[in-house]
């Protein structure tokens, strides 16, 4: 099976920074947002849901196109972020972009990274700043990363397609939102939802190979997918023993049929006595 490189050591420093951010911001978050506001923040299952392809979105260069144009012909990994967030959005982006670099897949050919801005007030400059600071320079991920912005209506329509509900903290002008990464097919369907801060390069690779429908990865990745199944409860790919057993039974039956059929064919081909 294809070897997936281990996560770069720099990711561990990001984890440390993430934990520090969590500890330092928890009291403030509870002070700014009421319990009922925090309870509204959630992610619901939206697998196979179609994204609205005609929604107009602008990138970090202020180029506006419909969503379909930003998808292009490769699977995409989507993150939802507040471009001026001072807490978790930056570390989340760093973790996911480093995991993409560690998949062993080729940026721009096998996948692209797309970030959707949660705050319609954020500017193209805010998007450029976050991209420069938080997206890894490894594996050309940054060269094939797109930071999108839209109106409140456009952003909310996309968030609903991803099954996301957020809560706005007016006091700090920030959004409380689920920490997740979504894999989207070239046709714009939500294929997988993975944990953003506990993302594993192997799981991310398998999700991209699956979303690529045979156009991404190698034959060994397809064999890997046969042995592993996606567990929606944990958001990871786990060994699916029933698939292995099914495959073993099919191979065994085919071998037995071949063993029985071969002598029969040989017998039928033997010359009849004169």
> What's the average model confidence in pLDDT over 89-115?
95
Distance CA(48)–CA(182), nearest Å, equals 11
Is 268 strand, coil or helix? helix
State pLDDT tens for residues 144-174.
999 999 999 999 999 999 888 777 777 776 7
Look at residue 33 in the predicted model and tell me its pLDDT: 43
Among 131-135, 147-151, 194-198, 203-207, the minimum mean pLDDT is found in 194-198
Look at residue 167 in the predicted model and tell me its pLDDT: 72
pLDDT(234) > 60? no
State pLDDT tens for residues 255-265.
556 666 566 55
Contact 116, 146 (CB under 8 A): no
Which residue would you say has higher pLDDT here, 224 or 194? Answer: 194
DSSP label of 55? -
Distance CA(239)–CA(225), nearest Å, equals 9
Which residue would you say has higher pLDDT here, 223 or 88? Answer: 88
Domains, the chain, in order of start with CATH, read: 10-220 (3.40.30.10)
Contact 168, 42 (CB under 8 A): no
pLDDT(129) > 90? yes
Contact 89, 176 (CB under 8 A): no
Cα–Cα nearest to 80, from 195, 190, 159: 159
> What's the average model confidence in pLDDT over 49-61?
95
pLDDT(102) > 90? yes
- What are 184's two structure tokens? 């989207």
Look at residue 113 in the predicted model and tell me its pLDDT: 98
């Amino acid at each position: 099976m294809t070897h997936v490189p281990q996560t770069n050591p720099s990711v561990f420093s990001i984890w440390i920074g993430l934990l520090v951010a969590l500890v330092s911001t928890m009291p403030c978050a509870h002070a700014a947002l009421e319990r009922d506001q925090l309870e509204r923040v959630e992610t619901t299952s939206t697998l196979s849901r179609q994204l609205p392809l005609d929604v107009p979105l602008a990138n970090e260069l202020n180029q506006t196109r419909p969503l379909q144009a930003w998808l292009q012909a490769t699977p995409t990994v989507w993150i939802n972020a507040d471009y001026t967030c001072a807490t978790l959005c930056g570390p989340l982006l760093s973790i996911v972009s480093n995991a993409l670099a560690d998949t062993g897949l080729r940026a721009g050919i096998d996948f692209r990274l797309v970030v959707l801005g949660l705050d319609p007030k954020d500017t193209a400059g805010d998007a450029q700043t976050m991209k420069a600071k938080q997206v890894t320079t490894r594996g050309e991920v940054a060269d094939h990363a797109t930071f999108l912005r839209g109106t409140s209506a456009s952003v909310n329509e996309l968030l609903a397609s991803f099954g996301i509900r957020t809560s706005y903290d007016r006091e700090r002008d920030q959004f409380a939102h689920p920490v997740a990464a979504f894999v989207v097919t070239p046709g714009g369907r939500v294929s997988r939802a993975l944990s953003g801060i506990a993302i594993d390069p192997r799981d991310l690779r398998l999700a991209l190979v699956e979303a690529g429908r045979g156009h991404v990865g190698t034959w060994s990745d397809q064999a890997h997918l046969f042995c592993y199944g996606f567990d929606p409860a944990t958001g990871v790919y786990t060994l699916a023993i029933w698939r292995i057993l099914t495959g073993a039974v099919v191979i065994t039956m085919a071998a037995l049929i071949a063993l029985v059929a071969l002598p029969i064919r040989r017998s039928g081909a033997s010359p009849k006595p004169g």
